[in-house]
Amino acid sequence: MATYELYYWPTIQGRGEFVRLALEEAGVAYVDIARGPDDGADAMSALMEGEANARPPFALPFLKLHEVCIGQTANILLYFGEHHGLAPRDTAGRLWTHQLQLTIADFVAEVHEAHHPIAMSLYYEDQKREAKRRARGFRETRAPKFLNYFERVLERNPDGPKHLVGNEVTYADLSLFQIVAGMRYAFPRLMRRLKKTLPLTFALHDAVARRDRIAAYLASDRRIRFNRDGIFRHYPELDEPAPTRRAAQKKPPAAKAKRPGKSAKR
């Protein structure tokens, strides 16, 4: 089987991680170009900006096989899932899986905007005040809305709640695993609160993590660790406030024992 070439940044998970998880689960040969001995900058530039490529990708990640170069994460997974058993065989099932992946892409964009609400060109410190406001809305409204949606999809899957689509793992399951893992890193207190309302989503995350190839990948140095350069970033000030101990309720002073009254005269 031919070797895939994955083009993405070498030091972050980012959107490329959704593709890496699919490559690892499928057990196909691939090269993470930018993480090799040569950083792949020349090849990357040639594909994106070279005049010889009539169909240049707009941005990373993109996946190359022979002369075919596919850009956009959801588009890559649409192709890859069909060719490597990570999507249903029927058209309706493939489109439904793709639709879920596009929804995940929307969620990923909002995760990033929680810490970069003004501009990607600015440092987090340059928009910290605005990020606090944006993150509050994200925690209170947007994140629960997305995560509850996926919980509902799992509940309504006619083939059972272990997968988003059908009764076998798809790239959508792998991507939801990554969403939960990233959110637990970036917003640990929020996710601890939401966990009790998302039993199926967390169960899917744990099941994916136990899959043989995924477990081996997560334990390897191929899995880049979460950090503050990626999409999922942990800034404690953007997470929910730390729970405070409730002030011990003051006990009412014990009632003074009444002196026994004088015996009534009989």
50-97 pLDDT, tens digit per residue, is 888 888 899 999 999 988 899 999 999 999 999 999 999 999 999 999
pLDDT confidence of residue 263: 40
Residues 198 and 110 reside in one and the same domain: yes
Report if residue 263 sits inside a domain. no
- How many domains is the chain partitioned into structurally? 2
109-134 pLDDT, tens digit per residue, is 999 999 999 999 999 999 999 999 99
pLDDT confidence of residue 251: 54
Distances from the Cα of 171 to the Cαs of 131, 174, 234, 235, 255, in angstroms? 31, 5, 25, 29, 67
Residue 135 has pLDDT above 70, yes or no: yes
Residues 131 and 192 reside in one and the same domain: yes
Report if residue 245 sits inside a domain. no
Residues 106 and 158 reside in one and the same domain: yes
Stretch 151-156: mean pLDDT, rounded?
A: 98
| 3-state DSSP assignment of residue 69 | strand
Report if residue 246 sits inside a domain. no
Signed CA dihedral, 165, 166, 171, 173: sign only: positive
pLDDT confidence of residue 247: 42
pLDDT confidence of residue 253: 57
Which residue range is the domain that position 184 belongs to? Answer: 91-212
Give the number of other Cβ atoms within 10 Å of residue 49's Cβ: 9
Residues 78 and 119 reside in one and the same domain: no
Report if residue 218 sits inside a domain. no
Residue 265 binned pLDDT confidence (cut-offs 50, 70, 90): very low
23-61 pLDDT, tens digit per residue, is 999 999 999 999 988 778 888 888 888 888 888 899 999
Q: What is the spatial distance between Cα 181 and Cα 201, in angstroms, rounded to a whole number?
A: 11
Report if residue 125 sits inside a domain. yes
Instruction: Say whether pTM exceeds 0.85.
Output: yes
> Domain end: 177, 197, 212, which one?
212
Residues 73 and 109 reside in one and the same domain: no
pLDDT confidence of residue 261: 42
Q: What is the spatial distance between Cα 11 and Cα 142, in angstroms, rounded to a whole number?
A: 28
> Domain end: 28, 62, 83, which one?
83
> Domain end: 176, 194, 212, which one?
212
pLDDT confidence of residue 36: 85
Residues 97 and 181 reside in one and the same domain: yes
Residues 62 and 132 reside in one and the same domain: no
Residues 189 and 100 reside in one and the same domain: yes
pLDDT confidence of residue 256: 53
pLDDT confidence of residue 42: 85
Q: Phi/psi of residue 72, each to 5°?
A: 70, 125
- DSSP assignment letter at 124: G
Report if residue 127 sits inside a domain. yes
CATH number of domain containing 33: 3.40.30.10
Residue 184 has pLDDT above 70, yes or no: yes
218-254 pLDDT, tens digit per residue, is 999 999 999 999 999 999 999 999 887 764 455 555 5
CATH number of domain containing 119: 1.20.1050.10
Report if residue 74 sits inside a domain. yes
Residues 115 and 159 reside in one and the same domain: yes
